[in-house]
Amino acid sequence: MVKVITDVNSAVNGFVWGVPMLVLLIGTGILMTCLTGVFQVTHFRHWVSKTIGAVFTDKNVTKHTEKHDKSITQFQSLCTALAATIGTGNIAGVSAAIVSGGPGAIFWMWIVSFFGMMTNYSENVLGIYYRRKNSVGEWCGGAMYYLHDGLGGKPGMKQVGKVLAVLFAVFCTIASFGIGNMSQVNTISANIKAVFGIPAIATGIFLMAFAALVIIGGIKRIASVTEKLVPFMAIAYVIGALIVVIANGANFVPAVVSIVKGAFAAKAVGGGIIGYGIKSAVTWGMKRGVFSNEAGLGSSVMVHSASNIKEPVMQGMWGIFEVFADTIVVCTLTALAILTSGVVDLSTGHMISTQESTALVSEAFSTVFGKGGSAFIAIAILMFAFSTVLGWSQYGMRGFEYLFGTKATIIFRVVFVAFILVGATMKLSLAWDLSDTFNGLMAIPNLIGVLSCSGIVMAITRNYTDRKIHGKKVEPMYSAFPDIQKMQENAARADGEL
């Protein structure tokens, strides 16, 4: 039975991650970058000051909402989104990319993330613009809603929008058990067993019990945990990786050169080998880049939409920072730690070490920390992967809610928690294959939604820059729905923003 699932999954995986899918993914990012005037570069100072910079200067960014208010803060939405994106993709995924595609795969991860910033930005802008409140007062947004109301609101596209919205919700719900649960937990249990000798089933039971305490409590409890966990784990890992890179500083420049040269298979011999080398670098760099930062999947927008923000562009800028922090910072440091540590021949790009996945990263850290390197990576994976489980529980729940209603979400939460134990003891390759497959299947309807609503994103962006950067007096674009638009305008006037 497992073999049949694996064979079918591999066939589907090959389809969704083929050239057309990668063209759609990168093409969307390029288009949104052009339509917004290369916003991630031209307004770099602005979006940095309004995101991570605002954490230290604007108390409203981190101030918790009242108990009766079901929304979460901007910072909590970022931390919950980063909890889902900073996971095994940043460690095992980067390692897999280097092993399978060579150092050049990292170059293509950078390319994906650069354009992915504006894909993620666009998703969040649309998420806020088309969001609505459910029966218990929580903000609900995501690809389901901008497909249903954005694409579906265009002439003759009502049914198409509805069908794609349902497909996305189905793919998201299923994907949450793969990318957001089983593959993460499986990596945790495997590493804990290898380093500390704790049986996988024991790890699974512990994680299942702890996750239940958080997940059953809903978005505000998840956000409360992630805003404490994510900054700590990210800073600790960044410091650890920096120490490895600095300790092996003599290899820093050769490592960067190997990334750039490897991206175009400069050392390959013969046209066929060059073609294969480029294909491997591009494919693995893009697949792992997307698995890591999730730009284009339409996943993180579901938690960004729960923010108490009024401006769609403001939340969009948090989306830019999310991709920047995840791939440009964390994934790059993982790659440099591996490449500078001597486990890869930098002149040829060939592997010297026989290790793979997280064991390769552990070996790299061990060159500086000794035996403590493996323990450090095992603990990092525990935090990274478990936080991903928390974030993705919210994504899957939103997809399930769209399909079956708010009251039914308790069923999803219980089943999701139970699958943590399944993930701890299942075959790792199957978990990763499921993750890649449903990542791709989620991306297809989401990217169609972003492309079809690209004009709306451009209009909202221009509206924001006219008002907030150029000082023009124009009416704000907060929501696609008149009642929510009016409510947000009143709130903005009360806060002195209009």
Distance CA(239)–CA(274), nearest Å, equals 36
Q: Which ranges of the chain have pLDDT less than 50?
A: 1-12, 15, 17, 266-279
Q: Residues 347-382: pLDDT tens digits?
A: 776 777 766 666 788 888 888 888 888 888 888 888
- At residue 297, the pLDDT reads 81
Which of 390, 441, 439 lies closest to 417, judged by CA? 390
Other Cβ atoms less than 10 A from the Cβ of 497: the count is: 14
- At residue 349, the pLDDT reads 67
**0.75 exceeded by pTM:** yes
Q: Residues 35-87: pLDDT tens digits?
A: 999 999 999 999 999 988 887 877 776 676 666 666 677 778 777 777 766 76
Other Cβ atoms less than 10 A from the Cβ of 254: the count is: 14
- At residue 320, the pLDDT reads 93
Q: Which residues contact 54 (CB under 8 A, 6 or more apart)?
A: 61, 74
- At residue 447, the pLDDT reads 92
Q: At what angle do helices 92-101 and 271-293 cross, to 10 degrees?
A: 170
The encoded tokens of residue 427 equal: 């075959």
Which domains does the chain possess?
Answer: 12-55+72-494 (1.20.1740)
- At residue 119, the pLDDT reads 92
Within 86-103, where are the H helices?
92-101
- In this structure, are residues 278 and 317 in contact, taking their beta carbons and an 8 Å threshold? no
